[in-house]
Amino acid sequence: MALKTEARIGASAYPEAAPVDVLAVGRSRRLAILASTALPPPRFRLRFSTEDNALESLFIAAADVILVLLDGHEADVFTRCRNLRTAADAAILAIGESSSLQERLSALRCVDDYITLPVAPAELAARVFAVLRRTALGRDGGPPDYNDGNLHIDFRTRIVSLRGTPVNLTPTEYRLLTLLAANPGVVFTHDQILQRVWGSSFEGDSHLVRLQIANLRSKIDAPNAPSRIMTQRGIGYAFRIHADNHNNPTA
């Protein structure tokens, strides 16, 4: 009874609108029970997946928050969390049964927050909302839509369309497009892009940026037209400011 009361307190402190989609990844039964208690419907839509099926689950349905359930037996927490970071446009929160400093430090190289048991259900719910606010992935905010007459980006729903046709972007491509399009004309260095899109552990891997820029250009640019993503040689990339942009805050 106490657990359910605490969970109601945690959710009721944040009454704003749409449900939060949470994917819990891991095999810990104890942590799964805690997540179910702390993140009840209708305020949360919680689903579970094993690590092996996590990427498939994310392709089936996106998540606002990924809750990584660590039982203390993971060989490489950092690699596990980094794979999720690369695949998902979501905030990542790890919760562990172990108080190992090594595990916490490893996870924090990639996740947005780390919780060690014991933790009250109300606090877990509050941490989920807090990490959403910090990572700007909440559904109630964000920049205005981008629309240059051909390319339309709805930052609230995360829907991208080109001349009215939906564009199928990977989570990484969408994060990259959002970073550039929400800041048209601003030049981002390779390391700035790596840190904001992939995380600080990827700094220095400029080839990864060039590869994803090429993939993104192939999806949002018209053949034989100037690319929307400008290359600043030796520096990085910027999103082109179009004269016919209908709703660009900097135009």
Query: Would you say residue 244 has pLDDT above 60?
Result: no
Residues 105 and 210 placed together within one structural domain of the fold = no
What value does the mean pLDDT of the chain take? 77
> 200 is in which domain, residue-wise?
146-239
Residues 6 and 129 placed together within one structural domain of the fold = yes
C-alpha 199/C-alpha 113 separation (Å) is 13
- Of the residues 71, 104, 134, the one at which a domain ends: 134
Residues 114 and 12 placed together within one structural domain of the fold = yes
- Of the residues 107, 134, 161, the one at which a domain ends: 134
pLDDT at position 192: 86
- CB atoms inside a 10 Å sphere around CB 38: 28
Q: Dmax over Cα atoms in the chain, in whole Å?
A: 64
251 domain residue, yes or no: no
Q: What is the pLDDT of residues 15-45, one digit of tens each?
A: 455 788 888 888 888 888 999 999 999 889 8
- Residue 129 or residue 171, greater confidence: 129
- H-run or E-run covering 106: helix 101-108
DSSP state of 198: I
Report which listed range, 63-77, 88-102, 135-149, 185-199, is most confident.
185-199
Return the ∠ at Cα 50 (arms to 47 and 53), rounded to 5°: 90
C-alpha 70/C-alpha 193 separation (Å) is 29
224 domain residue, yes or no: yes
- Closest by alpha carbon to 198, among 171, 238, 160? 171
207 domain residue, yes or no: yes
Q: Which of 42-46, 100-104, 143-147, 150-154 has the lowest mean pLDDT?
A: 100-104
CB 116 within 8 A of CB 88: no
Residues 155 and 130 placed together within one structural domain of the fold = no
Residues 44 and 127 placed together within one structural domain of the fold = yes
Residues 54 and 162 placed together within one structural domain of the fold = no
Residues 80 and 21 placed together within one structural domain of the fold = yes
- Supply the CATH number for residue 126's domain: 3.40.50.2300
166 domain residue, yes or no: yes
Confidence band, pLDDT 50/70/90 cuts, at residue 197 = confident
Confidence band, pLDDT 50/70/90 cuts, at residue 220 = very high
- Of the residues 109, 134, 159, the one at which a domain ends: 134
Q: Which of 34-38, 157-161, 243-247 has the lowest mean pLDDT?
A: 243-247
